[in-house]
A and B are shown apart, each in its own frame.
Chain A
């Protein structure tokens, strides 16, 4: 079966592409958010508690898009359903 090397190749390639593209956007977004929060902290040090809490919650929301990409690439590498299907079909 030449399906197995094909599926392996496409899965690994897609996993790399997923995490590479998927981390660019959140990285830019988090950089912008932190820069804005730092300037806000410099202007209003009294509001540090509110700004920091909102920053953390916002960072988690932004970061979760990168985490989704990471989960998808982990699934592609370690728990690929197509790979398991083909491997089971070839074995049995």
Chain B
């Protein structure tokens, strides 16, 4: 039973090997890039838009709204990073319905790479927004005693991001493989459907958590004025 796409090796030349993780990652990248290139070749600003442009507009608008609600900031500068994380993980997980495809997120190396991206992006956004000194003061915020715990927290949440995504996708693969041996016909299909739902939710959660971490590093000085903003839609009644 192969539980990791790392074990499926397509091509090997001395120390260099192409396993299913790399190939499927390239596949997802090519699909996303080609798809958005094809759609955005002929954009129109009028009322007569193609259905694919409509799809992309819904996606981008939805991601922007989510970022705005989570971070209480303008989504423009976070959209490329967070949106790419979401689209990549969601596409990688949803393509699981294609026979022969193994989600690259079911390999710990892919999820670790994504988590390391978040780990680097958080201080980058924080320093660009607030300057290095103000950002570094975050680590001693309640008091100096909290410095080691803040640093440990920085690492442990990166580990948690990686293992959470990996564990969820890998458990879907393992459960499907085990059930195929026990109850072959109908039940694995149901579990595959559940796996698709889990993959979508995990993509959403990964992106939202990345956004929450970035927002906590960038918005410290604005927080006092926005404590009451969590309940804004009530006044619309």
Contact = CB atoms under 8 A, between A and B. Distances in A.
Interface of A: 46-47, 49-50, 53, 56-57, 60, 63-64, 67-68, 70-71, 74, 78
Contacts of B70: 53
B231 interface: yes
Interface in B187-236: 201-202, 204-205, 208-209, 212, 230-231, 233-234
Given A46-B234, A50-B231, A67-B164, 9 more contacts: A50-B230, A53-B208, A56-B201, A57-B212, A64-B160, A67-B163, A71-B166, A74-B170, A74-B174
B116 interface: no
Nearest to B201: A56
24 contacts: A46-B233, A47-B231, A47-B233, A49-B69, A50-B69, A53-B69, A56-B204, A57-B208, A57-B209, A60-B164, A60-B202, A63-B168, A64-B163, A64-B167, A67-B163, A67-B171, A68-B163, A70-B167, A70-B171, A71-B163, A71-B170, A74-B3, A74-B174, A78-B3
Contacts of A47: 231, 233-234
Interface residues of B, number: 26
A61 B202 CA distance: 11
Contacts of B3: 74, 78
Interface in B1-39: 1, 3
A contact patch SS: helix
Contacts of A49: 69, 233
A60 B160 CA distance: 11
B201 A60 contact: yes
